[in-house]
Amino acid sequence: MNELQSKPGTADAVAADLERAIHEHRLPPGTKLGEDELGEVYGISRTTVRAALQSLGHRHLVQHKRNRGAFVAQPTVREAREVFEARSLLEPRTAHSACKRMTDDNIRALQAHIDAEHAALDAGESGRALYLSGRFHIEIARMADQSTIETMISELVSRSSLIIALYWQRRAALCESQAHHALISAFVDRDAELAEELMKNHLLDLVTSLDLRNSSSIPGTLKEALAK
Amino acid sequence: MNELQSKPGTADAVAADLERAIHEHRLPPGTKLGEDELGEVYGISRTTVRAALQSLGHRHLVQHKRNRGAFVAQPTVREAREVFEARSLLEPRTAHSACKRMTDDNIRALQAHIDAEHAALDAGESGRALYLSGRFHIEIARMADQSTIETMISELVSRSSLIIALYWQRRAALCESQAHHALISAFVDRDAELAEELMKNHLLDLVTSLDLRNSSSIPGTLKEALAK
DNA sequence: GCCATCATAATTGTATACAATAAAGTTTCA
DNA sequence: TGAAACTTTATTGTATACAATTATGATGGC
């Protein structure tokens, strides 16, 4: 919600930390999130851990299995399509709104974001680069001054990171930078219509770069299929 | 999520029950939701109550105040505008999708929904009528076969109910029925473009029927203003 | 040797107890 | 009499203990 982070040890702080770890692919889909284990890591009791896991569960980043525990979510092909469908409804129009309100400072902040993303890539920190790439979309929503939509996009972006972890085909460098650069150009030109169109196409490109064929080999699902 | 309700006594069941009560205006904005009190009502411990309240908090239906407790949320004017802005991005296009997939059974179900709404109004159960009126929108999202978007719309509809409780001007009968009837006609004609346009205008009508002037007298906020 | 069944261990689900904080009421002093 | 400070009370925040369920490993029969 707000930029200033919560005090360490609170459920919100733990949830934010876990969400970032998930977003950066340090916690891959399917990872078991034991309550005792997390409690020991963060030096808190299970009560607080459970609150954090419940929060992430509401955001569809963690999947709860009855009497089994919490696991980093593994979005299905269907869920993946739905997430990007939702993004395609929200983000293009939000980019339009953001463009109309955007200040020079906003544009500089976005540019700095991309620079940091490049720096992370050069440093071999692909997880951090992916995180920053997602934040770019969230920042645009924030600049549209629509906190409700921003919250929704934030959740969708994090879920997208899980989808990318599962269905990304080309492990090569993220070609997103080009699309983000083009968006900034539109912002500089104050061309809201173009920004909307660019965002729409950017999301379309993202979806088509995924391998969303039905019942493809999904890591971790094989095991579950055999368990039955 | 799924139609079949959870076992009574679980956090999900309590949250669903509270959400419905809020949606039906049996729990007005600002109502204190004491943990001990709720625990006694439902015959469960505070642990489960807290899980339910956290869930509602994440859906923005309940506002948590540090060391003060949980209260039924009181959306601000700004939040009200944002909620309907988000709905206007999601629902028209979703109505379009739903129209293209809609079966005759679906249409009959929607018609039954409206009939039940009318019956509730005739019986003087305005809260239940409002609830059913909101469910109408959620049912359409379900028929679009987009569960992710459905979840989002469901939250926005519930929040809209709070907004209506705070900012509704005309206490007269809900004029929504007309708009809903028109939507069904479009579904019958399989006119997706028309359905999209009707939904867009329906949401616009809803917003304009609210009194969203800044710093108008909001029930319950007066007290807080004086408390400082 | 393999499979089924049972016992054990580990983990989550739930309730309760204690600590911390804030509200309210009381007392005291000006 | 009024206001400020203190005490009391009530409520939430956190941790811990117990119960229920499931996974795992062992044992025995086929």
ipTM of model: 0.90
Q: Indicate the SS3 state at residue A136.
A: helix
Q: Which residues pair with B71 in a beta bridge?
A: B32, B63
Do the Cβ atoms of A121 and A101 come closer than 8 Å? Answer: no
Provide the pLDDT for residue B171. Answer: 58
pLDDT band, residue A213 (cuts 50/70/90)? confident
Name the more confident of A224 and A85. A85
Which helix H or strand E contains A92, and what residues bound it? helix A77-101
Higher pLDDT, B174 or B204: B204
* Residue range B70-108, pLDDT digits in tens: 999 999 999 999 999 999 999 999 999 999 999 999 999
pLDDT at B222 (0 to 100): 40
How far off is chain A from B88, nearest CA to CA, in Å?
A: 10
- Cβ distance B90 to A93 less than 8 Å, yes or no, reads no
**Least confident piece of the model among A24-28, B166-170, B213-217:** B213-217
Biggest CA–CA distance in chain B, Å, is: 57
- Spacing of B228 CA from D3 C1' in Å: 18
CATH of B11-72, one of 3.40.50.150, 1.10.10.10, 3.40.50.720, 3.30.379.10: 1.10.10.10
Choose among B79, B82, B149: nearest Cβ to A82: B149
pLDDT at B224: 41
Q: Where are the domains of chain A?
A: 11-72, 77-208
Q: Report, as an integer, the average pLDDT of B3-20.
A: 84
| B-chain residues near A86 (CB < 8 A) | 90, 146, 148-149, 152
Which among A146, A144, A158 has a CA at the least distance from the CA of A59? A158
Asked whether strand C has any atom less than 7 Å from the CB of A70, the reply is yes
* Residue B37 confidence (pLDDT) above 50: yes
pLDDT at B221 over 50: no
**Is B77-208 a CATH 3.40.50.720 domain?**
no
Q: In terms of Cα–Cα distance, which of B131, B130, B132 is closest to B115?
A: B132
A51-93: pLDDT as tens digits = 999 999 999 999 999 999 999 999 999 999 999 999 999 999 9
- pLDDT > 70 fraction of chain B, expressed in percent and rounded: 89
Range A175-194 average pLDDT? 92
Q: How far is the CA of B57 from the C1' of D14 (A)?
A: 19
B79 touches chain A (CB under 8 A): yes
Strand partners, A32: A71
Output the DSSP codes for chain B: --SSPPPTTSHHHHHHHHHHHHHTTSS-TT-EE-HHHHHHHHT--HHHHHHHHHHHHHTTSEEEETTTEEEE----HHHHHHHHHHHHHHHHHHHHHHHHH--HHHHHHHHHHHHHHHHHHHTT-HHHHHHHHHHHHHHHHHHTT-HHHHHHHHHHHHHHHHHHHHHB---S--THHHHHHHHHHHHHTT-HHHHHHHHHHHHHHHHHTB---TT---TTHHHHHHH-
Q: Is B146 on the interface with A (CB under 8 A)?
A: yes
Quick check: B152 and A82 CB within 8 A?
no
Contacts of B93 in chain A (CB under 8 A): 89
Q: Is B220 within 7 A of strand D by CB distance?
A: no
Task: Find which of A115-129, A214-228, B166-180 is predicted with most confidence, using mean pLDDT.
Answer: A115-129
- Digit-coded pLDDT (tens) for A93-134: 999 999 999 999 999 999 999 999 999 989 989 899 999 999
CA-CA distance, A178 to A134, in Å (whole number)?
14
Q: What percent of chain B has pLDDT over 90?
A: 79
